[in-house]
Amino acid sequence: MDFAFSPDQLAIRDTIRELVQDKVVPRAAEIDQKLEYPKDIERLFAENGILGIPFPEEYGGVSGSSVSICMGVEEIAKGDATCSLLLAVQALGSYPILIAGSEEQKKRLCPPLAAGDQLASYALSEPNSGSDAAAMKTIARRYGDEYVLNGSKIFITGASEASVMVAFARTDPEAGARGISAFVLEREQSPWKVEKLEHKLGIRGSPTGYVVFEDVKVPAHNRLGDEGQGFKIALNVLDHSRPGIGAQALGIAEGAFDYALNYSKERQQFGQPIASFQGLQWMLADMATQIEAARHLVFFAAVKVDEAAADMTKYAAMAKLFASDMAMRVTTDAVQVLGGYGYINDYPVERMMRDAKITQIYEGTNQIQRVVIGRALLRE
C-alpha cells in the first residue's frame, strides 16, 4: 500500500508541526501540572482548520480521511498527548454522525463541528459496563416525537466542554445488544450533567467526566439510524477510531524517543556522551525499530479504514494494540535513558510515560483488542 501523503496532507502536517512547536510544546508541562483544559490550544486548532480534519469538504471540513486524522494526531501527540485529544475526540464524537447519520443530520450537525465552533464527545462506557458495553443500563423511552434518557456514563472525554454528545442507550431493555440505540444530544436542548471530573495519572489537561442523564429529552430526529442499531454503530465507530489511538501512542513514543536520543548525545559520563556506550545504543535501536514498525501498522490500518476494507476491524485493533504497547515500552525506556532526571517533572519524558498508559486502556483495552483480533482470525 502507498503510505505517501498527498500534497494537501503534507501542507496540513507542516502547519500542525509548526503550531505544535511554537504553541503546544511550551504549554505542555503547565497544562499537565495545573490540570488545565487548554482552551487556547482548542481555539488555535479551530482557527487553523485542524478540528475540521475528520470531516469531508461537503460538510464543511478539510479531509474526512483516517490517514489525515492519524497524521494530525501523531504530530500533536509528539508535543502533548492532552492536546492531541482535541483532534482525536472530535473525530471519535463525530464518527457516529458521519457513519450512521442521515444526509439531513450530517448537513445540520457537522458544519459547526468542522469549524471548531462546537466540540463533540462520545458516551458509551458506564460504571458497570466498560469492556462489556452491551450490558449498559442507560434507558431511552420514546414519548411521541422525543426520547427521554435516564442513566449515567463514565470516563467521557471532553464531557464538560462538548456541545454535542453521541450517547448510547437502551430502547428495548429485553433485547440485549440489539436493544441499544444511538442519539445525538445537543447541549442547549438536551443538557447533560457532569457530576465530577476525574483526577488521572496522565492526559491531565483533558477533562474526563462522569455524566448523568436525568429525564434528558432528545428529539426523535436526533436518533442515529433505526432503533436497535446503536451497538452496531458503536462497534463501527471504534473500528474507525482505533487507528487514531494508535497514532496518538505513536506520537507520544516519538516525542519521548527524540528527547532521549538528544539527551544521550549531550549527557556526559566517564568522560564521553552516554550515547557512545553500546548498551545504550542498543536501547535506542530497539526503541527506533519499534516506533517504525508501529508507524507502518498504524497507517496501514488507516488506509484500510479509508477503503472500508472487509478486514479493517482486525487491522484497527492490531494498530491500537501494537502501537500502545510499544509506546509504554519506549516511554519507559526513555525515562531510563535519562536516569534520575527522567523521573522528575523538570523533564518531559515522565509525563509522556504517564500519558502513554491510557492508550493501552481506552477505546477498548488491549486485552479486548486481542479478543477482537482472535475472533477475526478464526472467521478467516
Catalytic residues: 363
Distance, in Å, from the CA atom of 295 to the CA atom of 65, rounded to the nearest integer, reads 17
Sign of CA dihedral 299, 302, 307, 308: positive
| Grid coordinates given for 6 | 498527498
Separation of alpha carbons 163 and 93, rounded Å: 11
DSSP sequence for 287-336 = HHHHHHHHHHHHHHHHHHHHTT-TTHHHHHHHHHHHHHHHHHHHHHHHHH
Q: Is 29 exposed, middle or buried (0-12, 13-18, 19+ CB in 10 A)?
A: middle
What's the chain's Rg over C-alpha atoms?
A: 21
- 68 with 3: CB under 8 angstroms? no
E-state strands within the chain = 120-123, 139-143, 146-157, 164-170, 180-186, 193-197, 208-219, 223-224, 268-269, 272-273
